[in-house]
Amino acid sequence: MKPVILVTGASGKTGFPIVGELASAGVPVRALIHAKAKKNMFENMKEVELVEGDYGDTRSLEWALDGIHTAYLVSPAAPDQVRLQTNFVNMARLTGLKHVVKLSALGTGPDSPVSLLRDHAEIEDYIRKTGISYTFLHPHFFMDNLLGASESVTQDSVLYSPLGLLYRISRPWLPES
């Protein structure tokens, strides 16, 4: 059976588990990956159709979206995220995609003080205007994002936040230095 669900960012933190769950449930899935080097991640998922593509390459998006009913849309937080994701949405509309599930973030809004959240709001608005059915996911936080803070927590007992907050971490189990 030909895949009807496309998972973008299929080798990423959220995409890879989604592909695994869909494949385990017997749902035909196509996984969009950016780099050939990521193909080995899927060697135990023979039923998954892999496609290599890029949000900036409309030909690869057209091929990836061919025959697809529903797509999971995610991309790295990047300065050109709006352009890249709207490229995907444009091709999705042209190829007849029926539903898009977009990973956004809690606090997404056009008046947010955080540029990433304003970008998500702009993309969501763009999707609404296409007429494609949609689901917007607004998770609060992914705990594995804290791994990037491990050095400052370990060395300085602090957790820095992009919102200008500083958390001092109490570690009573460690001797004072």
> pLDDT (tens digit, 9 = 90+) per residue, 122-174?
999 999 999 999 999 998 766 676 777 788 778 877 776 655 444 555 555 54
CA trace torsion 133, 86, 102, 124 (10° rounding): -70
Same domain for 157 and 124 = no
**What confidence score (pLDDT) does residue 36 get?**
73
E-state strands within the chain: 5-7, 29-33, 49-52, 70-73, 99-103, 133-137, 158-160, 166-168
* Mean per-residue pLDDT over the chain, rounded: 87
What is the number of domains present in the chain? 2
DSSP 75: -
pLDDT in tens, 82-100: 999 999 999 999 999 999 9
Same domain for 136 and 78 = yes
pLDDT average, residue stretch 18-34: 94
**What confidence score (pLDDT) does residue 123 get?**
98
Same domain for 153 and 132 = no
**What confidence score (pLDDT) does residue 165 get?**
45
What's the CATH number where 76 sits?
3.40.50.720
Same domain for 174 and 127 = no
**What confidence score (pLDDT) does residue 68 get?**
96
Same domain for 100 and 122 = yes
Question: Containing domain of residue 47, as a range?
Answer: 5-140
- Whether the pLDDT of residue 110 is over 50: the answer is yes
Backbone angles phi, psi at 123, to 5 degrees: -65, -45
Same domain for 125 and 156 = no
**What confidence score (pLDDT) does residue 170 get?**
56
**What confidence score (pLDDT) does residue 139 get?**
86
CA 124, 130, 136 angle in degrees (round to 5)?
Answer: 30
